Amino acid sequence: MQGAQTLWPRATLMKQFSQRLIGLIGRQHLHADEAYWFPYCRAIHTFGMQQPLDLIAVDKGMQIVAVERFVLPNRSCRFRGAYGVIETLAGCYWPLEHWIGRVLTIEQGGSDESNSCRIDLCER
């Protein structure tokens, strides 16, 4: 998308039940350029996680409605009015709190079966 800034070039769409059930449980390391997109999701948990996460909640228009930083393992978070949640490495260097109200785009990878995508921040 022209005029957009890529935030997470290595994102994964977590749409299937089995993906969502397991989520990131057991993942030892996340990288700063990785994110996981959970559409149709208003609440997440970090039970069984190995590391803390930063969480970004968006509405149906992909507008950022809430940010929770450094959510420790064995916690849960609920987001009112959210359509989906993005999970990324805790301590993300993007100024997410300042972007509440900004719009994100999700660009899916090559094939329809692919779960890979890219998450961009739209220009104002």
Helices marked H in the chain:
17-22
3-state secondary structure of 90: coil
Handedness of CA 73, 105, 93, 67 (dihedral sign): negative
Handedness of CA 86, 89, 92, 97 (dihedral sign): positive
Domains of the chain: residue spans and CATH: 5-121 (2.60.120.1140)
What's residue 18's pLDDT?
64
98 Cα distance to chain centroid: 16
Picking from 3-7, 17-21, 31-35, 59-63, which range would have the lowest pLDDT averaged per residue? 17-21
Q: pLDDT tens for residues 34-67?
A: 999 999 999 998 888 888 999 999 999 999 999 9
What's residue 16's pLDDT?
72
Of 52, 64, 67, residue with least CA distance to 106: 64
